[in-house]
Amino acid sequence: MEEVVQELSGLFEETPVLIAVYDGFDRLRYANKAFRAAYFIEPGEMPLWADLMRRNHQASRGTVIHAADFEEWLRSTQSRRGKMGFRAFETDLLDGRWLWMTETMQADGWMLCIASDITGLRARSRAVRQDRDLAIKASYTDELTGVANRRFVMGRIEDMLQRGAAVRGCLAVLDIDGFKAINDRFGHQTGDQILRDFTIKVHGLVQRTHCFGRVGGEEFVLVMPGTSLEEAALIVEKMLVIVRKSRPLTERPDFGYTFSAGIAACREGDIALSLYSRADKALYCAKMAGRNRIQLDGSDSDQSAASG
């Protein structure tokens, strides 16, 4: 990709079309003059996408963001950004321009973004398309936590299974321990607070090419393409540690909670149901072994002691 970036810089620096390239960590690696101008990026600057969005939002410039809570909008957007091979959508800028943007993903996690100015299209048709895009976003988003929902996550499992054997990965099913007891003891409002806290803590450790979402109740899924079983276990172990340390209830500073996880690697001939079933069975084993731990598919012993 480094060679491609060099070639782009020579070919597209002066074009009015906005062009940018992000690496697998979602750091900007190239932006032409038009893109830099639209998003207030200095020549040679290479910010992370999240940092770029945050600073522009604070300065009231760049992308129009329809959200009362910027960080919640950011998590929601990141739960879908870079998770599909190709995505196209419309976005408006605070300077009044309207852009048609495409995102094309490479197998190594690099992303090519191309945007064209479509401000001249009729305002009425623009409003209709904006309503359509918002409806699509809502159909892929869990309303409570803001991350991807079951529909979107299952689509990413299918995408992973359709890749070649060399780049297939792992699926983890994560479940908050004793969640029913939390609801019964403190009420559903506190339960919702725990779900949101869990989402924030875990999402902060999700890699750009991975997909994290809520599939129902207290159960979440992490899709990890191009990741070995050992690498997946290390990723989820970090999540276990940060959740163990969380103290989300200000009125109960000693309250903590944990989760358990089952992880399965893709096998030849897998379909989404078979892969999910193996990860779910591993999760059940983790629960039976005492909770607050990881169980790998095919392993007889837990991979993370509760005392960690």
Count of other CB atoms within 10 angstroms of residue 85: 13
The pLDDT value given to residue 307 = 42
Rounded mean pLDDT, 283-289: 96
Task: Give the 3-state secondary structure of residue 276.
Answer: helix
What pLDDT was estimated at residue 299? 66
Helix, strand and coil in the chain, % to nearest 5: 40, 20, 40
pLDDT of residue 122: 59
pLDDT of residue 123: 61
Nearest-angstrom CA–CA distance, 268 and 266: 7
The pLDDT tens digits for 75-119 are 999 998 999 889 998 889 999 999 999 999 988 889 999 999 988
The strand pair at 98-105 and 111-117 is best described as: antiparallel
* The pLDDT of residue 298 is above 90: no
pLDDT the model gives residue 108: 84
| Residue 14: C-alpha distances to residues 46, 80, 222, 230, 241 (Å) | 19, 30, 40, 46, 48
Taking only the tens place, the pLDDT of each residue in 135-159 is: 777 788 999 999 999 999 999 999 9
> Which residue would you say has higher pLDDT here, 20 or 123?
20
Task: Using pLDDT thresholds of 50, 70 and 90, give the confidence band for residue 1.
Answer: low
Name the residue among 87, 75, 205, 218 with its Cα closest to residue 156. Answer: 87
The pair of three-digit structure tokens given for residue 237, joined into one six-digit string: 């172990």
| Residues known to be catalytic | 218
What percentage of the chain exceeds 70 in pLDDT? 89
Burial 133-168 (b: 16+ CB within 10 A, else e): eeeeeeebbbeebbbbbeebbbbbbebbbeeeeeeb
Alpha-carbon radius of gyration of the chain: 21
Average pLDDT over residues 160-183: 89
* Predicted TM-score (pTM) above 0.85: no
Ordered by where they begin, the domains of the chain are: 2-139 (3.30.450.20), 150-296 (3.30.70.270)
